[in-house]
Each structure stands twice: as C-alpha cells, then as structure tokens.
Structure 1
Amino acid sequence: MGKETNNTIQTFWVILGNFSAFSFVMISSMLLSRYFNKEDYGTYKQVMYVYSTLLVVFTLGLPRAYGYFLPRVSKEEAKDVIDKINYILMGMGLLMSSTLFFGSDLIAGFLNNSNLGISIKYFSLVPLFLLPTLGLEGILSTYKKTFLLAIYQVVTQMFVLLFVVLPVLLLKGDVNSAIIGFTIASFIKFILALYLKYNPVKEYNKTKSSITFKNVFTYTLPLMGASIWGIIISSSDQFFISRYFGNEVFADFANGSLEIPFVGMIISSTATILLPVFSKQAKENTIESKKIMIDTWRSVLTKTIKLIYPIVVFCFCFADVIMVFLYGDKYVTSGLYFQIKVIINFFSIAAYGPLLMAVGGQKYYYNVFMYGALLLIFLEWLSIVIFNSPKAILIVSVICFIGRTFCMLFYVSNYFKIKLVDLLPLGLILKILLPAFIFLYPIRIGLENFGLNNLLLLSISGVLYLIIFGIWSVVAKLDYAVIFQPLINKIKR
C-alpha cells in the first residue's frame, strides 16, 4: 500500500506539471487564433506540426531510456548514464536544427504553403535547445522528485507564453515574431532542464556505468522505429488534410482534432511513473514480481477509468460549445472534429506502453505500429478517393487507433496468461458511461432553452453534472476516495 500511495503522489505531481504546461499552451493558442487570420494561424500550426513530426525521428526513442536504465543502476553510475543519453540528444538536436534550416523550402513545397519556408528557418534553432530537455520526467520520476518537474513546467511555460504572445499582442507582431519568441523561451528551458537532470544525483561521485552506448541503442532503436511509425500515424490525417483541403480547413481541423488534454496528462503521467516501477520488477522476473506488475497495472487502469470517463463524456456532449468558447465563433466547425476525436479517449485508458517496454515487448510494439501505419495511410487515402471529406479521414484514424489498442492489450493478456476480457473492468465501465450520458444530455437540452452564453452553459452544466454524478458515485459505490486519499494524507502531513 505504501508503494501504491507513493506512486499516486508522484503521479499527481506529474499531472500537475502537465496541466500547467497544457494551460499555458491553450492560453497562447486561444490568443493567437483570435489575433491571426486563419491563414497565418494555419501556418503557425503547420510549423509546430513539422516540428512534432520530425521530433520523434531525431530523438531515437532516447527520452524513455532514462526510466528504463536508471532503476537498474546505482546513483553513482546514474551520472554516467545521464551523460551518455544527453550527449546523443545534443548531437541529434544539432542535426535536426540543420535539417529544418536547409530543408525549409522543401518542406514548404511538400505542404503546399509558400509562407512556411521562412517561418521554419526562424524556428530551426528550437530543436538544438529542446531535444536535451527531453527525458527530464523519466529522471525525476525514477528518484521520486516529480515535484521539481511541476515547478519546471510552470516556470518554463510562463516564459513561453510571455515570449510568444506578448510580441504579437503588444508589438503587433506576425507569425515569425511568435516563433522567435518561442526560440528564446526554448533556450531558457534548455538551461533549467540541464540543471534539473543532474539534481537527484548531484551529491554522488560519478562512476563508469555498465550501461554502454550499445546498450542504450539496443533498447531505444526499436522504440525509435515504432515512434517513427507512430508519428506517421499521428500526422497522416494532418498531412492529407493540409495538402488536399487547404490552410483554412487545416486550422479548423488542428483546433478540433485533439484528444482531451486532461486524458493525455493522466495517461502520460501514469506511464512516466510506471516505467521505472515495471523495469525494476521485470529485472527480478519472478512470480511475485509478475503479480506486483499485474496488480499495479489493474489498479492504475481502474483509477484511470474513474477519472477519465466522466470527463470524456462531458466533452463529447459539449464538443461544439467547447470549441466555440476556446477559439471563437469562426471555429464552430472544429466542434465536429473534436467530437469524433474524443472517441479515442474511451480507449486510450490502458497504459500498456511502460509494461511492454519493461518486459521486452519492443519488437511487438514496433510491428503493431508499422502495420497499423501502413493500413491507416491506405484507408485514409481511400477515404479521400471515395468520400473526399476531412471528417472521413478522422473517422478512419479513430477506428485504426481502437484496433491498435486491442492489439497491445492482447500482448498484455498473453504475458500474464489471462483472458483479454479479464483485463478490462467492464462492470465499472458500464457503471460510469451509461449514467453519465443519461445525466448530461437532459442537462444540456434543458439549459439551452435559457439562451445562456457558452461560458455559463459550460459552467452550470459542469456543476450540475458534478453534483449528480457525485451522488451517483456514492449510490453505485464507485469509491473515488481511494484515488484522492493518498493526496489528502500527504497534505495533512
């Protein structure tokens, strides 16, 4: 129970850090989408799309290596491991920056946007600064110092907001002004991250580690391959829409086609905490260690469902209202994209990644992403030929995501030698989903008759939903106290 409580607290800090990062990103997006016209905003989003697409290729899967190797070595050896991975990340950052600078015009032509080339050139220094910051969460979660991650996220995202948005709002800057500000903020993140990476082991003398560069690449290269296919998967719908439907449709799609941020925060935060835990247990490889792993996995899955599903249902029912509230009336079309994409969050609850990474499932992980990417590209191309609709592209993307998720769960069930259906708490899922939909739709229909603005509609609906679902959680014995009690006890102490 003590370890589970500690994991809950560590996860809370990671979620808090991710939430602060998301909040600042959303604020900047809300402001920029209102200040820029759709064409300029689409260009800005395309720059970020190019960066996120190439990032996975150039990071070589290295950020995940911290959480895998550090639990397996002493703190004296940890300095050497951190050094090795940092050196590679710095070299890859330089290579990625060079690729963006010299390949900017080629990328602009590929995405059919003549204004994109110069913006990418201004942006090209960012990878040099940001790649060495990656993996910080893996280090701090290994040594139970994720509270530092929360502080880092808040401080650095404040700088991003200031340097990106203020030049645009106060100095009437353009897209390139925002990108220059982003570059300056990235340099600040670089300095702070390098300091924090060594903070947990700063009091220990450096000792040569048994972990070699070869060991690092042996672990990370399959992950890099899977990540390359993963980025193809995540960017394929963006590519098809950007190329075949233009900047304005891409702007609608970019705002609406996103998973619920709170869900991503919870999933990524639990994954960050679980990888070091699973890595340590997998190294022991005993019956008892496997029991600890499956019990931990099930506990996390149950808590995740309880936290995520009520939020997902709310966002699904109010998708159009949320988009207009965030981005303005001109982005009402984004609501339908958002509603379709939200369906993914009903299936993204299982943090299978850390378990596969810890028990040697990298090859299977790679194969699922490779075949999944090839199938997705074919089906999305086919949807353009048959339907010629950006919405059809997104529907195909959601269906393929669900298929990949069940392939991963199949591996987990085989590893623990249990049936796939026994992995999922179907009774709990039904206890949450059906009542949530039954509660929400009457609330929305009833309040819309009062002609409320979007803020009031979301606020009042949210409060009523929280009260009614809270009562239901007591009646149905959903036991939310088990999630929050460790945090309450920590605050009391």
Structure 2
Amino acid sequence: MKREIAIGKTKTEQALWLVLANALSLCMALIISAILSRYMTTVEYGTYRQVIYIYSTLLIIFSFGLPNAYSYFLARVPIEEGQAVIRKLNLLFWGLSVVFSLLLFTGAARIAELLANPLLTVNLKYFAVTPMLLMPVLGVERVLTVYGMTRVVLVYVLLGRVFCILFSVLPEIIFDAGVTGVVTGLVVASLGSSLVGFRLLSLPFKNVTPGKTEITIRDILRFSMPVFTSSLYGFIIGSASQFFVSRYLGVENFAMFANGYKELPVAGMVIGAISGILLPEFSRMTQNGAGNKEYITLWKSVIFKSASIIYPFAVFCCVFAPEIMGTLYGSVYREAADLFRIVTIINLARIVPYGPLMFALGKGKVFANAHMVTAISLLALDLSCVYFFPSLLAIAVITTATTFFCLMALMISTARILNTSLLGLLPWKSMLKILLASAFSCFLGSLAVSRVGITRDFPVLVMGFLVSVGIYLPVSRALGINYTVLLKPLVAFQKMNKIFFCRKCNCTNQ
C-alpha cells in the first residue's frame, strides 16, 4: 500500500526547516573560511579556494541536472518504487563521478597551468577522489524533502560541516597542516558525508516493500537535459560580470565588486528552500491531473510567503547599505554600498523560483531558452561596457537589468503556461502592502538613527534594525501580515490550520 507522504507535516514547516539548514550551512561555511584565512598564508588559502572553485564549477557540468530528478520522479511514483528510482539515478552519478575524478587527476597539471598556480597540481590529485564520494549522495536532501523528512536535512548539513571542521580546520589550527593537509581533510570529511548520506537515502524506505519502476534512464535523461542547459546558462549569468571586472578593471575594483555586488543570502536561502518543496509538489500535482486554478492558487500563496520574508530584508539593506558594507568589510568598502543597493533591487523581483513549475509541466526548454538569451545579452553588454565605458556601476546596472529581463520573461511565460494574465499570476495587493510597510519602517528607522546622532557603522546598523523591526511588526500586523502564523511550525512543532500551500481557497494572506 502506498504510504502517505509528509503525514502530519505542513509545507511551511518543511520549507522553514530547509531555510534553517541553508542558513546553518552558510554560517558555518563563513566561519570555516574566516578561520582558515587567518591560519593559512595568502597563497595557501588562495590555493584551497581554487580547489573548491574548480570542483563547484565542474560539478555543474558533471551533475548533468540530475539532482532535480530526485524531486521530480520520486513525487510521481508510489513510495514502493522509490528505491528503484534512486538506484537508477545513483548508477548515472557513479558513471559521471568516475569521469569527473579521472579528469581532476589526469588534468591537474593542465588546470594548474591554466590558473598559474603550480601548487594546484598535487592538491587536485589528492582531491580527485572527492567527486566519487559526494556525487552519489547529491540527492539526499531532495529525497528527504520529498518524503517530508526535512528535519533530517538539517542534521545531515550539520554533520557535513562538523566533519569539515574536525578533519580540515582543526588539523590546520593544531598541526599547521598546510593546504595539502586541509585538502586531504576535505577528502576524509567527504567520506564521512558519503557514508551518512547513503544511510539517509534508505531512511524513508524503512519497512517498505521495494518494487520495480517503469521510470527508465532515458526518461531521467530527457528530464535532466533542459535542467542541465539552464544551469550552464545560469553559471554564465552568475560569473560573467566578475570575470570582466577581474580581467579589465583591475584587482582593487574586483575586490570592491566581489564584496558589494552580492544578492541577499536570506533570499537565496528562502528561494532554495521553496524550490526544494515546490518541484516534488508540482510534479505530484501534474501526475494527479491538477488544473490551472490549483497551480495559480498554490503559486500565489508561495509568492506571498516568500515576499513577506524577502521584501523587509531587501528594503532594509537598501536603506542601510553603507553601514552593512562598513560593518562586514571595513570602512574602505563603504563605497560598495551603491553596488549592493543595485543588486538588492533584484530581490524585489526574484522572490520565487520558476524552474520547479516549468520542469514539472514539461516546459524546461522555455526555462532554458530564457537563460540562454540572458547569458548571450549579458556577455555582449559587459564586453561593450569594459571597452567603451568601463565602470563598476555600469557593470552592476547591466547585470541587474539583464537579470530582470530574464525574470520578466519567465513571469510572462508562466502566465501563458497557466493561461492567465500577469495580474492574475501574482498577489499584487499583498506584495504592495509588504513593500510599503517595509519602506515606511526603514525610513523611520533611518530617521531615528540620524536624529540620535550615532555615526559608527555597527551601532547605526543595530539601532536601525531594532527601530525598523519595532515599527514594521505592528504595521504589518495591521495590514494582515501575520508572522506568528508563518513561524509557528518551526517554533512549536505542531500542525497549523493555515498552511504554506493553501489549496482550499484563493486566499494568500494566511
């Protein structure tokens, strides 16, 4: 008998656990980087970062869009077929990981020559086994999410970071292990994560009689192809501007751009968590023959919840951008505040991932094409910029404008797919309420700070935040935005009557 998925859990609870896992991962990654940068020489730390950069870059190619296939296919089949689907995906990952590892080992010298760092050769060879350890467990978080076990995702993320600290960070602190010792420790940590990951992959199927599945490897590859191509274009969009700044505008400008032009980590955590929930949910709805009205209801509810978290942070960061830059990186980087404000504007539009809906409805090619046009436009405009009017602000405006173009194209495409208008696709009134409440609160927070006369960055930031939050919460409550309901599942661990994905009514203000 098919087991019910995510019994006793709301989608809000699952999403918030994923947000918490992403936040924990980000914080611990920052701590690890902060420690290693202080104990290693600049050359050693740079080499370590290059190893991570090479792996994460090539992973986009060698993962072939397959991690999302876990969410898509597992949500469409009975739980008895889940293990059979996972075995087929693992078979593909094993093959891809072997090729990846061989490339790192045999091509280490060539990669080191390309990046002009001889230290990379030996360290890449030590690191080469890592893809074979980590790639087969890339789908752990998605598998657990599909079956409503998002709390376990938090444990898995925590263990992975703890392994990194134990085997990479501590040896450097205690024994001065150097870059090779740190990289070797990463391999050991990867082994630990792999062992835990394989154990967790079987956790949802305890006491379940396994069965065969009609899902073929060809079906999996057909789904993953548009995901893979859109990921490649997304990589170009995310890295092109940094490349042009680094190559044509100098190291100092690159440092300013790298620190200033960063989207809100909070937005990334929220959108990543929502994507992890939406893909299996939309896939399940498609399999059950849901109509456009059900998709739109779900979509609008998700947008409201996402905007209620991202908009206040985005507006606050725009208002207090100089203080944020000064607090994080020092007074010299206060000049990057304009860059930070420009990129933060993106988060007023990027509040929900479009990929899950399009992939679930078989419109992955539309998603990929939008990113392809954006990537080509960005490359052309950036190249023209550095040759004819070189400027950091110009590069930032170009990147933001092309990203907005991509988001608008996806929004219009989504409206057409669901046979509705842009007005019917989004909860405009609710979004406007959140935006106005955020702007009003942050304006008064900034005014209060200036009246008090505080000038140092950190005290300004703290006072501005406290005043803004103190004003925003009652104002938002008066406008019908209830954050107590939003956070209740994570704090109280109990069911809510008003869930994140409300299907029974058209209400988005829950």
TM-score by length of 1: 0.90
Q: Which residue of 2 aligns with 1:465?
A: 468
Q: Which residue of 1 aligns with 2:148?
A: 144
The one of 78, 81, 85 aligned to 1:77: 81
| 1:125-164 deviations in Å (ceiling 9; x for gaps) | 3322222221222211111111111111122112223434
Shift in Å, 1:278: 0.8
| Secondary structure of the structure 2 residue equivalent to 1:72 | coil
The letter of the residue matching 1:228 is L
Q: Which residue of 2 aligns with 1:261?
A: 265
The letter of the residue matching 2:468 is Y
Q: Comparing 472-481 with 38-47, which one deviates more in the overlay?
A: 38-47
Shift in Å, 1:214: 0.9
Q: CA RMSD in A?
A: 2.9
Q: Comparing 152-161 with 272-281, which one deviates more in the overlay?
A: 152-161
Decide whether the 8 Å contact of 1:317 with 1:440 is kept in 2: yes
Rounded to whole Å, the distance in 2 between the matches of 1:80 and 1:371 is 37
Decide whether the 8 Å contact of 2:168 with 2:184 is kept in 1: yes
Whether 1:415 aligns to 2:412 is no
Shift in Å, 1:378: 1.2
Q: Which residue of 2 aligns with 1:241?
A: 245
The one of 156, 162, 167 aligned to 1:163: 167
The letter of the residue matching 2:270 is I
Question: Closer, same or farther in 2 for the Cα pair 1:450/1:473, shift >3 Å?
Answer: same
Q: Comparing 29-38 with 203-212, which one deviates more in the overlay?
A: 29-38
Rounded to whole Å, the distance in 1 between the matches of 2:38 and 2:319 is 25
Q: Which residue of 1 aligns with 2:14?
A: 10
Shift in Å, 1:326: 3.4
Shift in Å, 1:414: 0.8
Shift in Å, 1:212: 1.1
Whether 1:402 aligns to 2:404 is yes
The letter of the residue matching 1:306 is S
Q: Which residue of 1 aligns with 2:486?
A: 483
Shift in Å, 1:225: 1.5
Rounded to whole Å, the distance in 2 between the matches of 1:138 and 1:179 is 27
The one of 181, 193, 198 aligned to 1:194: 198
How do 1:34-433 residues align onto structure 2 when only pairs under 5 Å count?
34=38, 43-111=47-115, 116-117=120-121, 119-172=123-176, 174-245=178-249, 249-287=253-291, 290-328=292-330, 332=334, 335-433=337-435
Rounded to whole Å, the distance in 1 between the matches of 2:258 and 2:136 is 27
Question: Closer, same or farther in 2 for the Cα pair 1:437/1:114, shift >3 Å?
Answer: farther
Shift in Å, 1:67: 0.8
Question: Closer, same or farther in 2 for the Cα pair 1:324/1:140, shift >3 Å?
Answer: same
| Secondary structure of the structure 1 residue equivalent to 2:165 | helix
Question: Closer, same or farther in 2 for the Cα pair 1:488/1:164, shift >3 Å?
Answer: closer
Shift in Å, 1:299: 0.4
Question: Closer, same or farther in 2 for the Cα pair 1:252/1:418, shift >3 Å?
Answer: same
Rounded to whole Å, the distance in 2 between the matches of 1:272 and 1:72 is 15
Decide whether the 8 Å contact of 1:108 with 1:116 is kept in 2: yes
Q: Comparing 296-305 with 316-325, which one deviates more in the overlay?
A: 316-325
Shift in Å, 1:435: 4.0
Shift in Å, 1:306: 0.7
Decide whether the 8 Å contact of 1:14 with 1:269 is kept in 2: yes
Q: Comparing 334-343 with 382-391, which one deviates more in the overlay?
A: 334-343
Question: Closer, same or farther in 2 for the Cα pair 1:113/1:395, shift >3 Å?
Answer: farther
Shift in Å, 1:391: 4.2
Q: Comparing 309-318 with 144-153, which one deviates more in the overlay?
A: 309-318
Decide whether the 8 Å contact of 1:111 with 1:243 is kept in 2: no
| Secondary structure of the structure 1 residue equivalent to 2:390 | coil
Identity of aligned residues (%): 34
Rounded to whole Å, the distance in 2 between the matches of 1:394 and 1:115 is 33
Decide whether the 8 Å contact of 1:42 with 1:248 is kept in 2: no
The letter of the residue matching 1:364 is V
The letter of the residue matching 2:12 is T
| 1:67-96 deviations in Å (ceiling 9; x for gaps) | 111122222221111011112112212222
| 1:311-336 deviations in Å (ceiling 9; x for gaps) | 11122233343344334556555545
Structure 2's unaligned 5+ residue stretches are: 1-5, 497-510
Structure 1's unaligned 5+ residue stretches are: none
Shift in Å, 1:457: 3.0
* Structure showing the higher helix proportion among its residues: 1
Shift in Å, 1:5: 6.6
Rounded to whole Å, the distance in 2 between the matches of 1:406 and 1:91 is 38
Question: Closer, same or farther in 2 for the Cα pair 1:160/1:293, shift >3 Å?
Answer: same
Rounded to whole Å, the distance in 2 between the matches of 1:87 and 1:53 is 22
Decide whether the 8 Å contact of 2:9 with 2:148 is kept in 1: no
Shift in Å, 1:486: 4.3
Decide whether the 8 Å contact of 1:38 with 1:251 is kept in 2: no
Shift in Å, 1:277: 1.2
| 1:345-395 deviations in Å (ceiling 9; x for gaps) | 222102221110110111111211222211111111111112333443333
Question: Closer, same or farther in 2 for the Cα pair 1:198/1:243, shift >3 Å?
Answer: farther
Question: Closer, same or farther in 2 for the Cα pair 1:132/1:244, shift >3 Å?
Answer: farther
Rounded to whole Å, the distance in 1 between the matches of 2:122 and 2:250 is 19
Question: Closer, same or farther in 2 for the Cα pair 1:159/1:317, shift >3 Å?
Answer: farther
Count of residue pairs the alignment pairs up: 490
Question: Closer, same or farther in 2 for the Cα pair 1:186/1:257, shift >3 Å?
Answer: farther
| 1:153-185 deviations in Å (ceiling 9; x for gaps) | 122112223434334444445444443333322
Decide whether the 8 Å contact of 1:263 with 1:308 is kept in 2: yes
Rounded to whole Å, the distance in 2 between the matches of 1:332 and 1:173 is 36
Rounded to whole Å, the distance in 2 between the matches of 1:173 and 1:362 is 46
Rounded to whole Å, the distance in 2 between the matches of 1:362 and 1:492 is 34
The one of 449, 452, 456 aligned to 2:459: 456
Decide whether the 8 Å contact of 1:34 with 1:328 is kept in 2: no
| 1:84-120 deviations in Å (ceiling 9; x for gaps) | 1112112212222222333344444545556555554
The letter of the residue matching 1:460 is M
TM-score by length of 2: 0.87
